[in-house]
Amino acid sequence: MTEWLKAAGASEVWGGAFTPSPAASHSFGGSRMGDDPATSVVDKWGFAHEVPNLAVLGGATFPTSGGRNPTGTIWATAWRTADYLVSNWKQIAA
């Protein structure tokens, strides 16, 4: 597994057994949230900078994991994005 991480560009890799468990893992950081399209994938509402009408609703918008289970925060950000979508439907769907 460490070879794969190095090939993907990891600057530091710790050895040891690594077996991902889909039932107990959360993925973070694949679609970073931010205002600048050069350094982020989605805006503050979770909508992609480069793909119209695409929202990312999950932990992928988080830069890293926090100290607790992220499920509540993921629900809250998904609800916030959905609420924004409903409130701004005419602008977004145009």
Catalytic residues: 26
Q: Which of 75, 42, 44 is nearest to 58 (CA)?
A: 75
**CA atoms of 10 and 55, how far apart (whole Å):** 27
CA distances from 59 to 2, 6, 18, 43, 66 (A): 23, 23, 21, 14, 11
Is residue 24 within 8 Å of 35, Cβ to Cβ? no
